[in-house]
Amino acid sequence: METELTGWTAEPGADDVEAIREVLLAVKAADGRPEVAEAGPLPREFAGGLHLLARFDGKPAGYAHLDTDGDSYGRQVAELVVHPDFRREGVGTALARELDAKAPESARVWAHGDSAAAAALAKGFGLGRQRELLILHVDVTGADWPEPVLREGLRLRTFVPGQDEEAMIAVNARAFDWHPEQGAFTVDELRAEEKQTWFDPAGFFLAENASGDVVGFHWTKVHEPVPGRFGGEPVGEVYVVGVDPGTQGGGLGKALTLAGLRFLRDRGLRQVILYVEGDNAPALAVYSKLGFTRFETDVQYGR
């Protein structure tokens, strides 16, 4: 039996989309990610770009996606997943070979979970570790998170859909002008996220100055339970915390973080996660003091 590839396409047909979904759902059941629904559009990270489906013995076995728009630095970024039933059958190698031929030299490839198999596959194609994205975790039970304290002239309120998108995105762009993905987040993408079932403006905190300008935010998220992951319980996330560089200092970032954490705790959630760059020492120090420890590592490979 051999791996059969559909060929790269910008618009997979309905049958191929459902085959891709079948692969992603199986990977989610085994690994806890990606977040993919039983119906509807594929997750945002797989939107647009080019798609490559692999079949093994006629069954959906693997999938590669190449984001041809690229990140904020212009690097194309790829995702490659293999159905758990077809791992160690050469499916990953076949997809990686096609990806290597298609993507430019500057491209990066995500490996979620930092597995030995992914490391070996990357090494075989001459790819090295270029970026680490850490997933931190805290057990909320017994967490002693004090009320946020804001310096004079600042106040917290919650996000108002239809009103605050442009102000939030403006702060986000300034706060994350260095970040490969977050800095390019747009108003249209924010509005699309507002239509997701998990979106809750009550957990989206904004900091305003005395003039009413938005100078920081903390956007929280609640993940639906995934069997075998976090005890099958819903999990809160410190989704994004951003502070306008002109307002940094005075503990605003910590105050925003505490506001979101207390909101998630008050919802009855027992576990919270967050993603942070592995080389962001100041942020790691803050989260460590709040009780977070490393849970998983995502690795971006490249040349």
81 annotated to a ligand binding site: yes
249 annotated to a ligand binding site: yes
Q: What is the DSSP secondary structure assignment for residue 36, as one 8-state letter?
A: -
Give the CA dihedral 25, 72, 115, 128, nearest 10 degrees: 150
95 annotated to a ligand binding site: no
163 annotated to a ligand binding site: no
* Contact present, 84 and 33 (Cβ < 8 Å): no
132 annotated to a ligand binding site: no
92 annotated to a ligand binding site: yes
240 annotated to a ligand binding site: no
| CB crowding 177-193: b at 16 or more within 10 Å, else e | eebbebbbbeeeebeee
Instruction: Supply angle C-alpha 111, 116, 117, rounded to 5.
Output: 75
Tell me the DSSP string of 111-133.
Answer: EET--HHHHHHHHHTT-EEEEEE
* Contact present, 96 and 111 (Cβ < 8 Å): no
User: Can you name the residues that pair with 136 across neighbouring β-strands?
Assistant: 274, 294
23 annotated to a ligand binding site: no
241 annotated to a ligand binding site: yes
124 annotated to a ligand binding site: no
- Cis, peptide link before residue 34, omega less than 30° from 0: yes
- Nearest C-alpha neighbor of 54 from the set 76, 32, 87: 87
Q: How many CB atoms lie within 10 A of CB 288?
A: 12
Which positions ≥6 away from 288 have C-beta within 8 Å? none
222 annotated to a ligand binding site: no
301 annotated to a ligand binding site: no
128 annotated to a ligand binding site: no
Q: Using CB atoms within 10 A of its CB, is residue 95 exposed (0-12), middle (13-18) or buried (19+)? A: buried
Q: How many CB atoms lie within 10 A of CB 274?
A: 25
251 annotated to a ligand binding site: yes
243 annotated to a ligand binding site: yes
289 annotated to a ligand binding site: no
**Roughly what angle, to the nearest 10 degrees, separates helices 91-102 and 116-124?**
40
Q: Which residues are annotated as a binding site?
A: 38, 80-82, 88-93, 181, 221, 237, 241-243, 248-254, 275
Binding site for acetyl-CoA: what residues are annotated?
80-82, 88-93, 241-243, 248-254
